[in-house]
Structures are given as structure tokens and as C-alpha cells.
Structure 1
């Protein structure tokens, strides 16, 4: 898991790679309706929502997509843990690319304007912080480019 201090820092470290350039575009997109998932093919999806709407009881792992979180108007709180240290609450679903896990994660604050990028071997739990809006994106772990875009 990495927390970049802002979009410019993420661009400095990961920019120049199509999937991260498109991720930055998705995070910056204004005017998106809250709770509506937008996509760039099957390589990236992004949604603007309140953390209370995205909060889960357990940690959630994905195998084909990385979780990217950008707090828009307040600090976000997340728990992050390596999947290998957690217990399965259900089986992995290839249809949803999700597996719910039980266990404790390490608490992190993602400051307003920063960007969290969770690694593919990590599970994330977004915690309900009142009055905080985030953009959450799920970015393919496959390759550096979007073949269909």
C-alpha cells in the first residue's frame, strides 16, 4: 500500500504509464453523479461516493483490480492488511472479483487530496467517516496499458 501526497506525486512516481494516466483522469473528473460507477472498458472503474456508502464490515480483497482511493473533501480512514494474514469470510467470486475476509488491518488516514493505492495482495476496508466524499477506482493489475483504449 502506498499513499501519495497528491495527484502530482502519483504522476511523478507512476505517470507515463497508460493505466496510471487514465486513473488520474478518472480521479480528477468533476461532475460525476454520486454512487454511479463509470468505466473505461473493463480496465478501470471509478465512483464518487460518501465513505458511509462504501464502508464494509470486513476487509475486501480483489485479484484482478487494485483499489485506489482519493478523498475529495475530508480525510478518509481505511484498514489495510495482507490477504495471507486474514481468514476467509466467503469464497472468492470471479463474477464480482471480491473476497470478504476477517481479521484486523492496520488503520491508515488518507488525507484530503492524497491518493491511496492498495497492492493486489492486500485487502481494504473503507471506514465510515461522516461527511467525507471519496473517489474510489479499481484499476486492472494486468499490464501497463489499456489494450482496448
Structure 2
């Protein structure tokens, strides 16, 4: 979840199933790399972006913003990499 306090930012998002995997998810980095195209939206202060686990997103501009980012982890009873 990203809550924008100041500024604006463009975000491109798409369902992961429509993208090509470049590098599979790694628990140690909490990252996976995909390529393809999605829809673009511009987010402004006061707005919230919530991404589901089945969605990919990336920021396509480098505007200075202030935001609160919350990441929710759902594990199977324990944290492998924590």
C-alpha cells in the first residue's frame, strides 16, 4: 500500500499473468522481475495505491514524492528470511 502525502507519480501496473518472467521471485530479496506493458495511472497526494499479490507495478517517473509505504507479508507460520 502506498499513501501519497505530497507530490505525484506515474505508476504502470498489470496482472502478473500477462507479463513475461525475467527473474523468478526470490524470498531473500522479496523481488521478482517481469517485462511487458500495463496500464498507466498518475497518483496524487491524498490518494492510496493498493497492489494485490497477483499484480505487478513499477514507477515510470522520478518525481520527488513523500509517501507512506506499508508491506504486508503472509507467510506459512514463520519467516524464512527474517
Q: Normalised by the shorter chain, which TM-score bucket?
A: 0.7 to 0.9
How many Å separate the matches in 2 of 1:141 and 1:128? 29
Task: Say whether 1:123 aligns with 2:56.
Answer: yes
Aligned to 2:21: 88
Aligned counterpart, 1:137: 70
Q: Which runs of 4+ in 1 moved over 6 A?
A: none
Larger proportion of helix: 1
Q: 2:47 matched to which residue of 1? A: 114
Whole-angstrom CA distance in 2 between matches of 1:90 and 1:141: 21
> Contact 2:9/2:63 (CA < 8 Å) preserved in 1?
no
State yes or no: 1:104 paired with 2:7: no
Pairing of 1:45-56 with structure 2 (within 5 A)? none
- SS of the equivalent of 2:26 reads coil
Q: Which has the higher contact order (CA 8 A, sep 6+)?
A: 2
- Which is strand-richer, 1 or 2? 2
- What does 1:68-79 align with in structure 2 at a 5 Å threshold? 68-79=1-12
Does structure 2 retain, via aligned residues, the 8 Å contact 1:76–1:112?
no
TM-align CA RMSD: 1.6
1:52 — aligned with what?
none
TM-score, length-scaled by structure 2: 0.78
Length, aligned pairs only: 75
Give the match's secondary structure for 2:17: helix
**Structure 2 segments unaligned to the other structure (5+ residues):** 76-82
